[in-house]
């Protein structure tokens, strides 16, 4: 079943990169007691994610924080090393927390997986953004097509 506004995010564990190396972070660690903008991309370095979706969140991170957001997080069905390389290359490091959902456990639990096996990409996440308060989904902006529209940083920032 697809997650909806008012639902609590399920328990899941992501991988994040720390100075000591890969470090697990649970949904409780990321969302507990915090107001979080979460956005999901089908893949690090893929054209629309790299050129359009992520850059908007990098540019608007300061605006979101000034509107009361504690954390801006990006989840993707990629391994933590790829996400870390993406964070470094794009200048997102320190602004956005990257959550590697390598086996799509979280993404499947919230019903937002997207099967790109036929294109050689395996199971990925649909593109969306959410505002999450203390683990509860307050808004969900899910893309239906291939563009970045509803889930963009500008749209979510305008809702804060
Ligand atoms: C993208 O352009 O972001 C994209 C391309 C192919 C698959 C998934 C995402």
- Alpha helices by DSSP H, listed for the chain, are 27-31, 47-48, 54-66, 80-90, 105-109, 153-158
- Nearest residue CA, atom 5 of ligand 1? 46
Q: How many domains does the chain have?
A: 1
Which pLDDT band, with edges at 50, 70 and 90, does 145 fall under? confident
Regarding the beta carbon of 145 and ligand 1, being less than 6 Å apart is answered no
Residue 4 domain-assigned? no
- What is the overall mean pLDDT for the chain? 98
Using a 6 Å cutoff on CB, does residue 40 contact ligand 1?
A: no
pLDDT of residue 102: 98
Segment 54-61 shows an average pLDDT of 98
Maximum separation of any 2 CA atoms in the chain, in Å = 42
The pLDDT of residue 56 is 98
In degrees rounded to 5, what are phi and psi of residue 22?
-55, 140
Residue 118, in any domain of the structure: yes
Residue 141 falls within a domain, yes or no? yes
Q: Which pLDDT value is given to residue 80?
A: 98
Question: Are 125 and 141 within 8 A, CB to CB?
Answer: no
Nearest of 108, 48, 54, 42 to residue 78 by alpha carbon:
42
Q: How far apart are the CA of 49 and the centre of ligand 1, in A?
A: 7
Q: Which atom, in ligand 1's list, is nearest to the CA of 49?
A: 3
> Which atom of ligand 1 is found nearest the CA of 47?
2
| Residue 8, in any domain of the structure | no
Q: What does the pLDDT look like over 91-123, one tens digit per residue?
A: 999 999 999 999 999 999 999 999 999 999 999
Assess whether pLDDT exceeds 90 at residue 128: yes
Query: Would residue 64 count as lying in a domain?
Result: yes
Looking at the domain assignment, is residue 91 inside a domain?
yes
Q: State the pLDDT at residue 136.
A: 98
Whether ligand 1 lies within 6 angstroms of the CB of 120 is answered as: no
pLDDT for the residue 1: 85
- Whole domain around residue 95: which residue ranges? 13-159
Long-range contacts formed by 88-92: CB under 8 A, 24+ apart: 90/50, 90/54, 90/55, 90/58, 91/58, 92/54, 92/57, 92/58
**CATH code of residue 93:** 3.40.30.10
Distance from C-alpha of 27 to C-alpha of 13, rounded to nearest angstrom: 6
Percent of the chain past pLDDT 90, that is, above it, reads 98
């Amino acid at each position: 079943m697809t997650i909806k506004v008012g639902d609590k995010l399920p328990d899941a564990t992501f991988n994040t990169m720390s100075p000591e190396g890969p470090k697990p972070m649970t949904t409780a660690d990321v969302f507990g007691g915090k107001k979080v903008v979460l956005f999901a991309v089908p893949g690090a370095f893929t054209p629309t994610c790299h050129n359009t979706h992520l850059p908007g969140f990098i540019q608007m991170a300061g605006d979101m924080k000034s509107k009361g957001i504690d954390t801006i997080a990006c989840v993707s069905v990629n391994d933590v090393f790829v996400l870390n390389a993406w964070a470094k290359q794009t200048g997102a490091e320190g602004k956005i927390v990257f959550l590697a959902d390598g086996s799509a456990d979280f993404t499947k639990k919230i019903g937002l997986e997207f099967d790109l096996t036929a294109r050689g990409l395996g199971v990925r996440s649909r593109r969306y953004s959410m505002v999450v308060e203390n683990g509860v989904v307050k808004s969900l902006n899910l893309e239906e097509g291939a563009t970045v529209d509803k889930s963009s940083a500008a749209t979510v920032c305008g809702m804060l």
